[in-house]
Amino acid sequence: MSILTTSESIQPLVQPDSHQRSLPVLLYSALICLLLAACSSISPIETTVSKKGQSDFQTEMPAKAQEFATSDRIKSLDTGEPFEYRFGPGDRITIQVWRRPELTQDGIVVSPDGIITVPRIGTLYVLGKSVNEVQSLITRKLETFYIKPEVTVRVLEFQNNKAFVLGRVSKPGVINFPGKGSLLEALALAGGIPDQNRVSSLTKCAIIRGNDTIIWIDLQDLLRNGNMALNAPVRNNDVIYIPEAADELVYVLGEVVTPGAIQIKSGMSVLKAVMLAGGMNSKADPEKVFVIRQQSLKGEVIRVNLKNLLESGDFTQNFSLMPNDIVYISPGGMAKFNYALEKILPSLQMLNTGFSDLESLGIMEKLRSKIWGQSGFINSSSSGD
């Protein structure tokens, strides 16, 4: 840095004493403190609620994790009784009486209230009755008019052995079983699982029975591993629901290339989630990877050492992830230091610019003249010895 001067001596400016050298440092320190104070001057004020329960902010409890039914649980649902069809609305039946063509009827439809009409008898309530029970009922009624009538009842269309398949299937809706139904048969009758979204994974389905029974089935174990013990029996009016895979997400945050939400895929683990997020960047600390799981208002935090996993092949901490898990990759110590420098260096550059402006305006020249008796100005654009 060179110093251009007038005829007066400038020797004190070249070699100032300790008090002169400390002044710029004090000015820099003061300005930095002012900058830091300015950055922290904005502070939001917390809104107070006068009465409990008036705030719109509420903590949402996490949904309970579904527990898959075991093979013993599914086996207990099967009573083992022989299957016997029961009449319901929409069934089409045929009634035949031997040697009595005037009593024979084809295509009788069971009304929504469970009633059919039979010649010479009138209306009969058949809802929930088996074929044998209806046949015996008609025989007893006809015995009033005929001697030992031989009655045969056949079902042409079964409408009361059905299930409702909803969710991620090709043809959601009502399906009818020709006999005793099962989960795999229901999925097949509903057109199977669509394959247009192969990136997502089919993991589970629910069988809703009545008002108080929900059975969660692990479809991965049933379909991929062939565990036929999970092929649960399906009863009349059961609801089979297959949730969309897009609803099941894990969240990867911190020092990764592309942080964000990732759909649950087959065998989702900590390492797989990190790699699907683009992998760790250069600022990441592989020894400080955390998995946050919210099972209640107080979640669980587990630390994972990916460095140990990669160096020694220790997969004991490569945990399987659940929906809504959070994977956070912490920054390393050098990354924090670099971040601090990035925040400080622009401030120092601004201070240097400010001194240059004061020098060009002649303010610093007057200040040096009053303090040290010097004259001239500092030319910061040229380099000195």
Q: Say which range, 57-61, 74-78, 148-152, 272-276, has the weakest mean pLDDT.
A: 57-61
Q: What pLDDT was estimated at residue 14?
A: 43
Q: Does domain 161-246 have CATH number 3.30.56.10?
A: no
Among 55-69, 160-174, 265-279, 355-369, top mean pLDDT goes to: 160-174
In the chain, alpha helices (H):
11-14, 18-39, 71-77, 131-142, 183-189, 219, 270-276, 306-312, 333-360, 363-371
- Res. 249: pLDDT tops 90: no
Please say whether the beta carbons of 93 and 156 come within 8 A.
Answer: yes
> Residues 215-238: what's their mean pLDDT?
90
- Res. 280: pLDDT tops 80: yes
User: Greater confidence, 359 or 138?
Assistant: 138
CATH architecture group of domain 248-331: Roll (3.10)
Q: How would residue 200 be classed by pLDDT, with cut points 50, 70 and 90?
A: low
Question: What percent helix, strand, coil does the chain show, rounded to 5?
Answer: 30, 25, 45
Q: What is the spatial distance between Cα 48 and Cα 292, in angstroms, rounded to a whole number? A: 30
- Structural element, H or E, at residue 378: strand 377-379
Q: Which residues of the chain does CATH 3.30.1950.10 include?
A: 92-157
Query: What topology does CATH give the domain 92-157?
Result: wza like fold (3.30.1950)
> Residues 112-141: what's their mean pLDDT?
94
Q: pLDDT tens-digit profile of 61-76?
A: 555 556 788 888 888 8
- Res. 201: pLDDT tops 60: no
Q: pLDDT tens-digit profile of 254-263?
A: 999 999 999 8
- Res. 346: pLDDT tops 70: no
Among 8-17, 301-310, 331-340, top mean pLDDT goes to: 301-310
Q: What pLDDT was estimated at residue 372?
A: 60
Q: What pLDDT was estimated at residue 58?
A: 57
Q: Which residues of the chain does CATH 3.10.560.10 include?
A: 161-246, 248-331
Among 34-43, 134-143, 281-290, top mean pLDDT goes to: 134-143
Beta strands in 98-248 (DSSP E): 105-109, 115-118, 122-125, 151-157, 162-167, 173-176, 181-182, 204-209, 213-218, 233-234, 238-242
